[in-house]
Structures are given as C-alpha cells and as structure tokens.
Amino acid sequence: MDPLVHLPSVPLRQRTQSTEEFNAIPAHVYPCNTARRADGVMSVAGVPLTDIAERYGTPAFILDEDDFRSRCRRLAKAFGGGQRVHYASKAFISKTVCRWVAEEGLALDVASQGELQVALAADFPPERITVHGNNKSRDFLTLAVESGVELIVIDSLQEISLLSDVATSVGCEQDVLVRVTPGVHVDTHEFIATSHEDQKFGFSLASGAAYRAAMACVDAKNLSFRGLHCHVGSQVFDAAGFVLAAERLLKMWAGLLQELPREEGERLNILDLGGGYGIAYMPDQQALDVEHVAANLLEKVAEASYKVGVPRPVVNVEPGRAIAGPSMVTVYRVGTVKDVETSDRTVRRYISVDGGMSDNIRPALYQAEYDVRIANREVEGDLVHCRIVGSHCESGDILVNDLPVPNDVRPGDLLVIAATGAYCYSMSSRYNMMMRPPVVTVKDGESAVMIRRETIEDVLSLET
C-alpha cells in the first residue's frame, strides 16, 4: 500500500508560501496597532494576546479602539461632515460602540428594534439615527417616532400607512426615505447582494414601484418625504456600482421633482447610498480606498444632478464592515490536532479551536475566507495542508477550509483570526450551548471588557 503523504502546501495565490511568511503579520488585514514582539508574541495596542487569553480566557474578540475610531474619522473626513456617514450598527453594536460613534461625530443606522434600543440606551442622539427594516412592527415604529429618530427608510406600501398612522397617533411629522432597488448587480456573494430585482428589500426602480411608493409617501399624512435610499450590496470592491445606482436614483429624483408641488420638492434633499465598502480579509486583498470612493461618488452625484437638472442632494452613506471589520481579531486556543486521510490518500491536518461557527458563521454561510496566525510564539515547522475547525457537533463547522500551516502548531497554542469585527459577534449564536465569547477592548497597553463572556447561569436564567 502506498504510504500516506502530507499534501504539499498548495501555492494558492492568497496563501502563505513559507513559515517565515506565516510568522509575519499582513498589516492591512489586522488592526492598525498589531505587532509581533521580539519574543514572538503578538500584541494589539500594546496588549500581548497571551495576557488576554490568560486574563479573559478563549475564545475572545479583541477590539482595537483606536483602529475603530480612526476608521470612523477617516470616513467622516472623506465624505466631509460627520453627519453624512452613518455607522451601520448591524456589523457590531454595543453601548460603548454607540458612544464612540457619537463622539466621532458620525450618525447611526439601525435595522431592528433591538439595535435602536441599544443606541437609545447609550444615549445616542436620536436626531442622528436612520431606521431600516423590511418588516418593522408597530412597536418598533412607535419607539422610533417617539424617540425622535431622524429618518425612517420605507420598505413597503404597508409600512407607509402603518407609519403614517403611528406618526399621527404620536402627534408629529416623521421624515422618511424610500428604499429603492436600482437593479445594479454587484460582484459579491448572492446573500449579501441587495440591489437586484426579486428580493425582499425596497421597491423596484425598473417596475415603477419605487416611484409610486415615493408618491404615496408624499400623500401620506404626517410623513415628510425627504429622499431616496439604496444599498447595492456588501463587501463590494467595484465602486462603479455605487455610482451607477446614484445616477439611476437621481434620474428618478428628477422625474419626481417634475411632478411634486414646489414645497414638497424642496424638502427632497437626501440621497442615501448605503454601505458595502469591501475590506481585506486576506493578505492579497486590498480594501476599497474610501477617500477615493468618496471623492468620486460626490463628484459623480454632482455631475448627475446637474445633468438631470436637480439641486445636488446631501449624500448619506452607511458603512458597517469598513469601520468595525478590521478593528477586531478573535483569539482561540488550539485543542485537538488530528491528521486525517483524504479520499486521494493524502493527509489533511485538522486543527480544532475552542470556538467555531457559533462565533463566526461567515465561512459556513458565505464561504468567507480568513487569515490565520499563531499568536503566542513564532512557529518553525514546514507548512502542511490544514483545515481550521471549531468545536461544534457539525462537520460544516469550518473556520478556514484550506490553508498551509507550519507543522509544529500544537495543542495549547493561541490561534488568531483577523478582521472578525463585522458580522461575527453580531451573528453569533449559542449553538451546542457554547457561550458567546467576551469582547475585550484594547488601547494604549490597557485592556477592558466591553461585553463579558456569557455564562451558563445567563442561559439557565432565561428558562422559566
């Protein structure tokens, strides 16, 4: 019988090619204050990840506060004026994060009653909140209107009458945008593309539904129609999609202005182009250059407005991932390391860590790829073909499907996965009764618990 052989490390373009490269840290994928010290230990904002693991246990999310805040500032500056940039809180929300966002002068986008409640609990200024959702309940809308949110983005005809009714009973007028699907197809995973026809969000531009919805808002009692919204998708790298969507919306805008009475038309001045700016999860990716995107988008909006003969609107944007994503890493402890024979009689090494699909569902859901390093030391072995898996009772519990890792990675090592700040904690679950990890903030050599680890007592206390 042929001897089993370890698969050679596949020279995939985005994969590490050598042990030396594996020990290096691709700076653009990790929080800006990440370093590997002379003794081999990785640190974020001056806090060694070994200390984090010892003090708070594993798995743990580590959030670099300066990194998060600097991304807020960078976007606000790029778009000129903090009010226009909304942090899409679905990426990751906590009261502390809401406070940071408020302090950095940004606005906030919430997509559920719970997100709104967290923002309000953090005293986030409601006049800087935009509310989303394709199925907002009366309770949610009532809370939004009563707390004085700036904008509610209308997603269905049913919602127009419901919100009109709510605003009337609260006794105030509510500013609204209409969510439009401009039919722009962006190159991203189908689950996070949102601008094609035949999906649940918004009103189709092509069919005229968006136009009719806008007119219905104008007619609705106690609603003030302020503009249009679209979000073409998430993790988008070709900014042409944002421009095309803006141009299409402005054409519709011009049509509306022709029909609206002057004072109604004058209120129309917000064009919200959503979020979606792609970030680097892997060393060979480059994040969208937000300064370039912003300058280009604002210029193209000005040109398109001029072309269709409407006053240039205020541009709102709603990035989530581009702010939260790169600011966090997840630290796991390596447990079982097992060599498994594959169907072609080669061997794949399975490295199990103490978290998994409950703290990061993205690989299973979107085939998302992640960068992996060892945090407690520099490794030395030759690269072998590996799969990083979690501890869940499910074979699809894979964090990284296929990567070369030095063969001396062993139980007890700390394994770090980069760019886990967006849509990991916020999409986490308690599958297999694995408790949600803590989120630990780091800044200037100090760490603090932002969200503590869930305990079995938390869970048991929910049961009556």
Footprint of ligand LLP on this chain (CB under 6 A)?
Answer: 88, 90-91, 109, 132, 192, 194, 231, 234-235, 274-277, 318-322, 362, 366, 422-423, 427
List beta partners, residue 347: 6, 341
Q: Based on CB atoms, which residue is closest to ligand LLP, 88 or 384? A: 88
**Considering the complex, what minimum distance in angstroms separates the CB of residue 31 from ligand LLP?**
17
Using alpha carbons, select from 357, 339, 346 the residue that is nearest to residue 410.
339
Neighbours of 285 (CB within 10 A): 18
399 in Cβ contact with 388 (< 8 Å):
yes
| Coil vs helix vs strand at 385 | strand
Instruction: Determine if residue 291 is labeled as part of a ligand binding site.
Output: no
Q: Which helix (H) or strand (E) holds 174?
A: strand 174-181
Q: Which residue is nearest to ligand LLP (CB)?
A: 275
Instruction: Please tell me the distance from the alpha carbon of residue 228 to that of residue 113, in angstroms, as a whole number.
Output: 22
Please confirm whether the linkage preceding 59 is cis (ω < 30° from 0). Answer: yes
Count Cβ atoms within 10 A of the Cβ of residue 404 and give its class: 0-12 exposed, 13-18 middle, 19 or more buried. Answer: buried
What is the rounded radius of gyration, in angstroms, for the C-alpha atoms of the chain?
24
**Considering the complex, what minimum distance in angstroms separates the CB of residue 246 from ligand LLP?**
15
Instruction: Please tell me the distance from the alpha carbon of residue 111 to that of residue 88, in angstroms, as a whole number.
Output: 8
Active site residue 172: no
**Considering the complex, what minimum distance in angstroms separates the CB of residue 347 from ligand LLP?**
32
In Å, how far are 57, 188, 208, 365, 382 from 232, measured between CA atoms?
A: 39, 10, 18, 19, 43
Q: Based on CB atoms, which residue is closest to ligand LLP, 179 or 392? A: 179
Instruction: Please tell me the distance from the alpha carbon of residue 165 to that of residue 159, in angstroms, as a whole number.
Output: 10
CA dihedral 37, 42, 43, 49 (to 10 degrees): -130
Instruction: Please tell me the distance from the alpha carbon of residue 284 to that of residue 12, in angstroms, as a whole number.
Output: 11
Q: Based on CB atoms, which residue is closest to ligand LLP, 276 or 438? A: 276
Cα 321 off chain centre by:
3
Instruction: Please tell me the distance from the alpha carbon of residue 327 to that of residue 454, in angstroms, as a whole number.
Output: 22
| Coil vs helix vs strand at 305 | helix
Six token digits for residue 406: 């030095």
Q: Based on CB atoms, which residue is closest to ligand LLP, 22 or 61? A: 61
**Considering the complex, what minimum distance in angstroms separates the CB of residue 174 from ligand LLP?**
18
Six token digits for residue 295: 């300058």
> What are the residues whose beta carbons fall under 8 Å from the beta carbon of 35, sequence distance 6 or more?
25, 42, 43
Instruction: Determine if residue 320 is labeled as part of a ligand binding site.
Output: yes
Q: Based on CB atoms, which residue is closest to ligand LLP, 192 or 218? A: 192
Q: Based on CB atoms, which residue is closest to ligand LLP, 283 or 320? A: 320
Q: Which helix (H) or strand (E) holds 205?
A: none
Instruction: Determine if residue 318 is labeled as part of a ligand binding site.
Output: yes
Q: Based on CB atoms, which residue is closest to ligand LLP, 59 or 326? A: 326
Per the residue annotation, which of 72, 386, 393, 424 is the catalytic one?
393
Six token digits for residue 170: 């609260």
**Known binding site: residues?**
276, 318-321, 362, 366, 394, 423
Catalytically active residues, by annotation: 393
**Known binding site for pyridoxal 5'-phosphate: residues?**
276, 318-321, 423
**Known binding site for substrate: residues?**
321, 362, 366, 394, 423
